[in-house]
Structure formats: structure tokens, C-alpha cells
A and B are shown apart, each in its own frame.
Chain A
Amino acid sequence: MSNLFGSDLEIINVGISEFTESIIEKGAKVLNVAWSPPGGNAEVARSLSYLVNRPEVEKANTTAFAQYLSSKPCLVGLGPAKEVIPDLPERVILHAGPPILWENMCEPVKGAIIGACIFEKWAENYKTAEWLINSGEISFAPCHHYNAVGPMAGIISPSMPVWIIEDSARKTRAYSNLNEGLGKVLRFGANAPDVIEHLHWMQNVLAPALKVTLERLGPIELKPLMAMALHMGDEIHNRNAAASALFIKHLIPAALDAKLDNSVLSEIVKFINSNDHFFLNLSMSACKAMMDAAHGVPGSSLVTAMARNGVDFGIRVSGLGDKWYTSPAPLINGLFFPGYSAEDANPDLGDSCITETAGIGAFAMAASPAIVQFVGGSASDAIASTRQMEHITFSKNDAFTLPQLDFDATPAGIDIRKVIDTGIAPIINTGIAHREAGVGQIGAGITRAPIECFSQAIIELSEFFNMSNEI
């Protein structure tokens, strides 16, 4: 027997908003949906409808999310990529974002790749590097394909030192390069001799010293450190000062204990201290580990990766295997440093929105009202942003609580169904790179993942389920 009669009629109105008049007049409850065609077209809308509140999808999401929650990323060491990342080909350069051909890459990424070739001593200069690349000697792949992530251009070449993050719950690993610092650096496409020299310093001085220090320290669980940073005003994507400071607190006693050479110790402390974003790459790889834990559950509609290569924005979905769903990367309109404007900006770039994918970054913006000084908006916007993300996520991660919301947990587990159904795209806090190689960061802002990526994924997920076209 239907529950339509005999109890209070409460209506959700979809379409002609005037229809609410007669209902309100009568004193019954009605809520009008601010409706717009899901995904902008009927095919996507139809595909979506098969998936909404479907028990198989909810079950798969429950499993995927539980795996994400139980993930325990720990920093266990670091080493050269070729020694540490399994199955890394000899002449490969990893980059941020979904796959892309050399000829289509944006200038900052090209510049960074050239710099990497020179760093690896495969080429002496720009010209020979280009020649080498055009001859097909070098292969390219997304960092994600090797369980790695990198910010901005995200370039990882075989000799570069990478952090090793181990998920102690699942014994799987994720990697990220070390943050070079601010200014004209490789990740913005700079490849001048001083950039390369700095990379060599990191490879030959910084990395070995950190390795020894970490051996002294033992594995560091990253989630508790990140949780504390969230309580101290970081959102751990664009604002990492507290996390970086906490990290250095861990390192220093162990570094002293490791009896490093005094000048080396002095250099590395000075270097890490000068970079408030030093922790970013650790945050990113921790989030990568957490999302890898959620990936690969058949039927799950949760997003396990978001990444950009400066040309395309791509997402991956837990239940849809390793396929990337891409759309042109958006331009960001944010706050620009003096002398720069939107015309100078490169489209969105970097793997760093793996943080938003895992429920921090812009999703935890409420924790970091000060971020609005860099990305624009007001402090109450920061809170509203986090609240808005609750409408497109599966649940919340109580490992990360937000003081400004009375210690409510951060929304996590982007659900492609909810994105398309509500039209609310995931929000991302991001730095803005100059579109010419090597100039560097020119501002910061808030951007949204393109809805089109989610539309494509919805159609494929519904195909996965909808064998006989039954509702």
C-alpha cells in the first residue's frame, strides 16, 4: 500500500515553480528544486537516473569509502625514483595530470621536461633535449600511472628523489617528488642552470640527509599530523605552513641524532624552513595513498583522482578502472600578484587536487579562513565552501575535523552522481602558473572541476549496471 494517502502530503517540486502556489496556499509542505538539466543533456540525465540511490552503487561506495577511511599513510623513507618506484622504464619522465602528447603540452610542462632531461644528463641543453624528445627516445606518462603525484608540472624523472609513503593498512605505496621551494623552479617550467644545480643539490645533499634522518626517526603516520595542521589553520593544499612546521619539529631531533655534517644540517634546515609549502608533496602523496585504497571497487561512483596537465583536467572513478575522463582544464580567475593578470595565466595545472579528492584542500577550507587572502572571497565563504561540498560527497572523514565547524568532520568521497544531479562541481584551491615556461606562480584562486568529466563517467557507470535497460 502506497504511503501517498492518509499521511501528510509533502511535496518535492521539480520543474514549473508556480506549482508550489496551490500547495503553499493549502498549507502543505513543499520544496522547490532549483532544477537544471543534469549534465546539460538528456542522455546524461537518463544515465544518472539509473544510478541514484541504487543499492549496488551504495554498497560499492560503502566499501570504497571504508577502505579510504582505514588507510594509514606513513612516510617510511625516500630514494631515487628509479630505485624506489617499481617497473619504472629507463627513459621515462612522469608528469602531472592525465596522459598527453608532447606536442600538445603547455609551455610550463615542456620547460620542466627539458629541464629534467638536462638534470638527467640525457641532453646538454634545450636544443638537444628537444631533439631527443622529438626522436621518440623519451617516453612520458602521468605520475598517477606509477602511483605518484607531483604539484604543478609534476615532473618526476628517474634520478629524482621521491618520498615513499606506505599505507600500513594495505601495504601499498605512493610517491611524490620533493618540493623545490618558491620562485623560479622546475615545476613552473624553469630550466636555467641554477634550477638544475638546485635539483642536483636536492639529489646529492638534501635527499641522502633526509634519508638518514628518516631512518633514525622511523615511520611517521601522516594523518594525525595533517589533522593537527587542520586545527592550526592549514587546509594542506594551498596553505601548508603549520603542517610544514610540525614536520620539521619531527625531523630536527632525528637529524641532530643522525650526526649529519654540520654544514649539511645547516643547509637542509635553512632550506626546509624557507619553504612554507614543503609539506605539500607529503600531503599529496598521503592523499594519493588514501584514494588508491578506495580505487577499484566495481560499481562505485566515488572519484579517486582529479588531476590536470595544464591542458586537460582528468578524473578517475573507483568503479571504472584506470580510465581518465577528461575535459579542457579551466582558466582560473583569482587574485594575481602585482603586475600579472588573467591574460598571463596558464590553465589549471598539477596533481595537487588529489588533496580535494581526499577531502582536504578546498573541501576543508573552513579550517583555513586565512586562505581567502590568497584565493579571494570572505571568511564566511570559506565555511560555505566546505558546507557546499557536503552535497556532493558520500560521507565525512572523522580523522579530519574542522574547529570552525564545531569540529564537524570534513566532507569526503566525491560522488559523480551527486555532482551531476546537483550541478555542483568540486571546488579546488589552486596556485596559478604563468603560461610561459619558467616565470613561476603569478597568483592563486578558486576553481571548479569541469562537469563534463563527470558526465562522461556517469554514462559509463550506468552502462556498467544497466544490462537490460530496467529501471
Chain B
Amino acid sequence: MRFAASEISRKTINSFTGKVHSVFRNTVNLILNDGELITLRTSNDKQQLPGAISFSAPLGFDFSHHVKHGTNICCRGGILRLSESDLTFDLRLAQNIKLEKNYYSSVNTNIKNDESWKIAWNFLINNRGSAGLILAINKIEPVTPFDVALVSRAQECIPLLLSAVRKNNIVITKKAASRLVGAGPGLTPSGDDFLVGFLTGAQHTFQNKEQIKCINFLGSYLSKQVGNSVDISCAYLKHAASGYTIKSLKDLTKLIINDTYRTKITNSIDIVLRFGHSSGSDTVFGLLCGLAVKKPVLSNIIIDTLNNKAAKVKYI
């Protein structure tokens, strides 16, 4: 079956080789020989990550009917072919999407009104997610020993991360982040989702040279985590370090910064929560932490909430 790509967010399209990494109904992730991640998707939800190729497919289309993990893929002359299937995609007909990076634009600024942040925070901690780092701040009690250990780690590392980044302490930043990489359930582990959100929040609000240095360092460190986490999650971390995150998260960030109505913010959070199954809540958690770094009042809310959980804080 031949499809014409409708949108692409990648510079060169003519020639690349790789394999199918993971297969879902509407999406396949492709890992190229050089480690780059390309996402081929049917929906047009315009999430805008680098290396995304969108096309419109007929009702009932399901990638798992056509390919499986490890299937070889190759693009030659602008035509992407998936081995052992009849799927081909003409990439030359697509509109090229220019992606917007997160940070250091002149419109970025600190949060105008702390209340917007609090709206988001309260909505989040009332979220009924039952897995991941969100357990460290919401009303659900961790039950399994694994979850208890995870919450404990969150209580240890997140305050450390907040203070280290505010003080531009690269060493402690790295230490705290390293304990979160790869930690938690999910195909993209919770800790990674948290860090993607954290980077996004920080990138939107940091402006002076010193702070940028620290965030840049953190991003650079997180770009090199292949081997410490699931490969696809490492690719997302790398994107985030370069300033590319999904549009719905960027939209939420701007809403919070720009002091918007409650319902707009909560609706926006809903949209993020729907993305990628369980990733959403950890990502929003990280975002709010990233936005709170420069605001001691908000940081303290986070730390207090963490500390109020039953498990004790453990320091290294």
C-alpha cells in the first residue's frame, strides 16, 4: 500500500536505513543505524517532535498487521519502505514542519502569577494516577515495595535537583538526575518522563547565563544516557535537551507562564495526560518542578508535599 506523507519534521528525507523499534496501532518508532529516532504515525495530532512523519490512513489501519519489532526499514530516493510488508511512504510530498525550540526566546519569562502554577499543581496531585513518580505527591499510597522504593527515591532526589539547579551546582544536579534516569515503570520510565518535563519547564524560564549553563549541562548529560535507560526514552531525552518537546506540553507551559484561566490550564493538562498512556502525569510533574526552580515559594510547596508522604526521606 502506498501512502503519501503529509507532514515531516526532519531535514533530510532522501536516504536512511534502520529498523522498526516498537509497534503500536497508529504509530511505529523507527531507530536508524546512527541511533536517531523517527516516529511514523497516522494521527495528525501535530505533537511536533523531531523526526515525526505523519500520514493519513484509512479507518481500521493497524501497523501491527504489517510490521513487527526488528523489521528492516530503508528510505531511498524519498520512498520509505518497510521490509516484508507492502507499506511504502512517499516522503517527498510532505509539508516540512519547522519545529519550535523551547528556550531562550525573548518572550520566555518567569511565571507571571504563581496562582496559575498552583492551579496546575493542585489539579495534578488530585490526579488518580497509580504508578510512577506521581505516587510521591498524590493521594494514592504506594503499596508494592518497588513503588515504596520509587517514592523514597523521589523524595530524596527531587528536592536535591530543585536546589542544585537553583544554585547552579552542576555536580549535585548530575547526581540527582542520575538517580532518576531509567527509574520507574513504563516503556519510557517515569524518571525520564519527569526529566523531559523538568527540562521543558526550565528552558522556558531561564535567562541569565549562569542558569543556562546549568540547564545546558543537565541537557547534555541527559542526552548521553543510552545504556542507562530504554533506547526510545533516551531519544526523547535527547530531543528535550535540544529544546524539542511535544506541542501539548509546550502549550501547557505557556498557559501557566502567561497566567490564564483555570479551566484552560486544567484542560491543557488533560491533553498532556492523554498522551503516551502513563507518561503524562510524570511529565507534568517534572514540568511544574522545572517552572518552580526560580520560585522558592513554589519549590517549597513541592518539597512539603513530598515530605508529607509516609516514607521517610533518605539522603545519600
Q: A interface vs B, CB < 8 Å?
A: 3, 7, 53, 55, 58-59, 62, 65, 69, 390, 394-396, 398, 409
Q: Are B1 and A58 in contact (CB under 8 A)?
A: no
Number of B residues near A (Cβ < 8 Å) is 17
Q: With A7-B33, A53-B77 given, is the CB distance from A409 to B92 under 8 Å?
A: no
Q: Are B86 and A58 in contact (CB under 8 A)?
A: no
Q: Min CB distance, A236 to chain B, in Å? A: 21
**List of B residues within 8 angstroms of A3 by Cβ:** 15
**List of A residues within 8 angstroms of B78 by Cβ:** 53, 55
Q: Are B2 and A394 in contact (CB under 8 A)?
A: yes
How many A-B pairs fall under 8 Å by CB? 34
Q: Min CB distance, B95 to chain A, in Å? A: 12
Q: Are A58 and B92 in contact (CB under 8 A)?
A: yes
Q: With A62-B4, A395-B2 given, is the CB distance from A55 to B15 under 8 Å?
A: no
Q: Are A58 and B90 in contact (CB under 8 A)?
A: yes
Those 10 A-B pairs whose CB atoms lie nearest each other, nearest first: A395-B2, A62-B4, A55-B92, A396-B1, A398-B58, A395-B1, A58-B90, A3-B15, A59-B93, A53-B77
Question: Which residue in chain B gives the minimum CB-CB distance to A395?
Answer: B2
The answer to whether B109 has its CB under 8 Å from any CB of chain A is: no
Q: Mark B28-48, 1 if CB is under 8 A from A, else 0.
A: 000001000000000000000
Interface residues of B in 77-102 (CB under 8 A from A): 77-79, 86, 90, 92-93
Complex: how many Å from CA A396 to CA B66? 14
CB < 8 Å: which of B33, B77, B79, B86 contacts A396?
B86
Q: Are B93 and A62 in contact (CB under 8 A)?
A: yes
Q: Min CB distance, A59 to chain B, in Å? A: 5
The answer to whether B266 has its CB under 8 Å from any CB of chain A is: no
Question: Which residue in chain B gives the minimum CB-CB distance to A2?
Answer: B15
Q: Mark B85-123, 1 if CB is under 8 A from A, else 0.
A: 010001011000000000000000000000000000000
Q: Min CB distance, B6 to chain A, in Å? A: 10
Q: Min CB distance, B246 to chain A, in Å? A: 28
The answer to whether B127 has its CB under 8 Å from any CB of chain A is: no
Question: Which residue in chain B gives the minimum CB-CB distance to A393?
Answer: B2
Complex: how many Å from CA A390 to CA B85? 12
Interface residues of B in 1-17 (CB under 8 A from A): 1-4, 15, 17
Question: Which residue in chain B gives the minimum CB-CB distance to A406?
Answer: B65
Q: Are B33 and A62 in contact (CB under 8 A)?
A: no
Q: Min CB distance, A52 to chain B, in Å? A: 9
**List of B residues within 8 angstroms of A395 by Cβ:** 1-3
**List of B residues within 8 angstroms of A59 by Cβ:** 4, 93
Q: Min CB distance, A13 to chain B, in Å? A: 16
**List of B residues within 8 angstroms of A7 by Cβ:** 17, 33
Complex: how many Å from CA A394 to CA B1? 8
Complex: how many Å from CA A65 to CA B4? 11
Q: Are A62 and B86 in contact (CB under 8 A)?
A: no
Complex: how many Å from CA A59 to CA B86? 19
Complex: how many Å from CA A53 to CA B78? 9
Q: With A3-B15, A7-B33, A395-B2 given, is the CB distance from A62 to B58 under 8 Å?
A: no
Complex: how many Å from CA A59 to CA B79? 12
Complex: how many Å from CA A58 to CA B2? 10
CB < 8 Å: which of B1, B17, B77, B93 contacts A409?
B1
Q: With A7-B33, A396-B1 given, is the CB distance from A390 to B86 under 8 Å?
A: yes
Complex: how many Å from CA A59 to CA B90? 9
Q: Min CB distance, B76 to chain A, in Å? A: 9
CB < 8 Å: which of B33, B60, B93 contacts A58?
B93
Complex: how many Å from CA A48 to CA B150? 63
Complex: how many Å from CA A377 to CA B15? 42
Q: Min CB distance, A66 to chain B, in Å? A: 9
Complex: how many Å from CA A55 to CA B33? 26
Q: Min CB distance, B1 to chain A, in Å? A: 5
**List of A residues within 8 angstroms of B86 by Cβ:** 390, 396
**List of A residues within 8 angstroms of B90 by Cβ:** 55, 58, 62
CB < 8 Å: which of A53, A69, A398 contacts B79?
A53
Complex: how many Å from CA A58 to CA B33? 28
Question: Which residue in chain B gives the minimum CB-CB distance to A396?
Answer: B1
**List of A residues within 8 angstroms of B3 by Cβ:** 395
Complex: how many Å from CA A53 to CA B81? 13
A-B CB contact pairs (8 Å), 29 listed: A3-B15, A7-B17, A7-B33, A53-B77, A53-B78, A55-B90, A55-B92, A55-B93, A58-B4, A58-B90, A58-B92, A58-B93, A59-B4, A59-B93, A62-B2, A62-B4, A62-B90, A62-B93, A65-B2, A390-B86, A394-B2, A395-B2, A395-B3, A396-B1, A396-B86, A398-B58, A398-B60, A398-B61, A409-B1
Complex: how many Å from CA A396 to CA B86? 9
Interface residues of B in 56-77 (CB under 8 A from A): 58, 60-61, 77
Complex: how many Å from CA A62 to CA B2? 9
| New A-B pairs, 9, CB < 8 Å, besides A390-B86, A394-B2 | A55-B78, A55-B90, A58-B90, A58-B92, A59-B4, A62-B4, A65-B2, A396-B86, A398-B1
Question: Which residue in chain A gives the minimum CB-CB distance to B60?
Answer: A398
Q: Min CB distance, A115 to chain B, in Å? A: 45
Q: Min CB distance, B307 to chain A, in Å? A: 54
Complex: how many Å from CA A398 to CA B79? 21
Q: Min CB distance, A346 to chain B, in Å? A: 37
Q: Mark B202-246, 1 if CB is under 8 A from A, else 0.
A: 000000000000000000000000000000000000000000000
Question: Which residue in chain A gives the minimum CB-CB distance to B66?
Answer: A408
**List of B residues within 8 angstroms of A398 by Cβ:** 1, 58, 60-61
Question: Which residue in chain A gives the minimum CB-CB distance to B92?
Answer: A55
**List of B residues within 8 angstroms of A390 by Cβ:** 86
Q: Min CB distance, A363 to chain B, in Å? A: 14
Complex: how many Å from CA A455 to CA B86? 26
Question: Which residue in chain B gives the minimum CB-CB distance to A409?
Answer: B1
Complex: how many Å from CA A53 to CA B86? 17
Complex: how many Å from CA A395 to CA B77? 18
Complex: how many Å from CA A394 to CA B17? 23
**List of B residues within 8 angstroms of A396 by Cβ:** 1, 86
Question: Which residue in chain A gives the minimum CB-CB distance to B74?
Answer: A10
**List of B residues within 8 angstroms of A65 by Cβ:** 2
Q: Min CB distance, A392 to chain B, in Å? A: 13
Complex: how many Å from CA A55 to CA B93? 7
Question: Which residue in chain B gives the minimum CB-CB distance to A408?
Answer: B86
Complex: how many Å from CA A395 to CA B90? 12
**List of A residues within 8 angstroms of B17 by Cβ:** 7
Complex: how many Å from CA A55 to CA B92? 7
Complex: how many Å from CA A197 to CA B249? 76
